[in-house]
Structure 1
Amino acid sequence: MQQGSGSETQVTWEDQQNINKFSKLNNRFHELEDEIKFAKDKCENLEDAGNELILSDEDVVRFQIGEVFAHVPTEEVETRLEEMKEATAKNLEKLEEEKVSIVSQMDALKKILYGKFGDSINLEEE
C-alpha cells in the first residue's frame, strides 16, 4: 500500500488480521442495525396490538399462532402480548449493547490502522 506521501508501507500479517476483523465487525454492525430496526418495529406493532385490544369489546379475539388464527380469550391475548413485548424489549436491549461493543472495537481498530497507514486506508463509509 502507498501512503499519501508516496512511500510504501508494508502490510504485515497482523495488519491484515486487523483489517479483516474490522471488516467483519463492520458487516455485523450493519446486520445489527437491520435487526434493531426490525425489533423496534415489532415493539411498536405489539404496542399497537395491545392498544387495539384495549379498545375491543370482544371477550374472544382472533390471535395468530404461527400461521393460523385461533379464537383466544382476550385476557389470554393480553398476557401473551405482554410476554412478547418483554421478550422483544430484552432482545432489543441486547442488540443495542452488542452494537455499542462493536462500535468501540471498530474505533480501536481505526486508531491502529489509521496510525499505521494514514491516508492510504479508508475505513469510513460514504
Structure 2
Amino acid sequence: MMMLQGSKSGSEMEVTWEDQQNINTFSRLNNRFHDLDDEIKSAKEKCENLDDAGNELILADEEMVRFQIGEVFAHVPRDDVETKIEEMKEATCKSLEKLEEEKKSIVTQMAALKKVLYAKFKDSINLEED
C-alpha cells in the first residue's frame, strides 16, 4: 500500500486500493480534459475556416471553383462545393457539440473525485493545476 505524508502533522496516511483507483481515474480524466481542450480548439478553428470558405464562395462569380481534395485542387461546380462545405460544417459542429458535452461530463466527474479525495487526504493531496 502507498502512504501519503501528512503536510502538517507529519503522520502517514494509508492509501487504499480504492483511493489509488480514484487517483488514477482522476489522472486519466484530467489528461482527457486537456486533450478535449485541444480538440475543441481545433474544431472551432475548422468551423471558422468553413464559415470563411462559405463566405468567400458567396462572393465568387465563377461557376467552377477550385476545391482542395487531399493535396490536389480540382475544378468543381460551385453548387457542389457549397453543398460540400455545408455538410462539412454541419459534421464539424456536431462533433464540436459532442466534444463539449464530453468535457462537461469530465468536469463533473473530476469534481466528484476531488470531493472524495480531498475529504480523505485534505492537504496531503493536490489535484489543482498550477
Does TM, normalized by the shorter one, top 0.5? yes
| Unaligned segments of structure 1, at least 5 residues | none
1:2, distance to aligned residue in structure 2 (A): 1.9
Q: Does residue 115 of the first structure (1) align with residue 119 of the second (2)?
A: yes
* Residue of 69, 76, 79 corresponding to 1:75: 79
Q: Does residue 60 of the first structure (1) align with residue 59 of the second (2)?
A: no
Per-residue displacement from partner, 1:56-101 (whole Å, max 9, x unpaired)?
Answer: 1111000011221100000000000000000000000000000000
What SS does the corresponding residue of 1:5 show, helix, strand or coil?
A: coil
Per-residue displacement from partner, 1:4-57 (whole Å, max 9, x unpaired)?
Answer: 322211000110010000000000000000000000000000000000000011
TM-score (norm 2): 0.95
Q: Equivalents in 2 of 1:5, 1:36: separation in Å?
A: 43
Q: Equivalents in 2 of 1:88, 1:20: separation in Å?
A: 32
Q: Equivalents in 1 of 2:83, 2:9: separation in Å?
A: 65
Q: Equivalents in 2 of 1:67, 1:96: separation in Å?
A: 30
> What does 1:1-126 correspond to in 2, within 5 Å?
1-3=4-6, 4-126=8-130
TM-score (norm 1): 0.98
Task: Name the structure, 1 or 2, with higher relative contact order (CA <8 Å, separation 6+).
Answer: 1
Please, what is the CA RMSD of the aligned residues? 0.7
Per-residue displacement from partner, 1:92-121 (whole Å, max 9, x unpaired)?
Answer: 000000000000000000001000000010
Identity %: 77
Consecutive aligned runs of 4 or more in structure 1 exceeding 6 Å deviation: none
Higher-strand-fraction structure: 2
Aligned pair count? 126
| Unaligned segments of structure 2, at least 5 residues | none
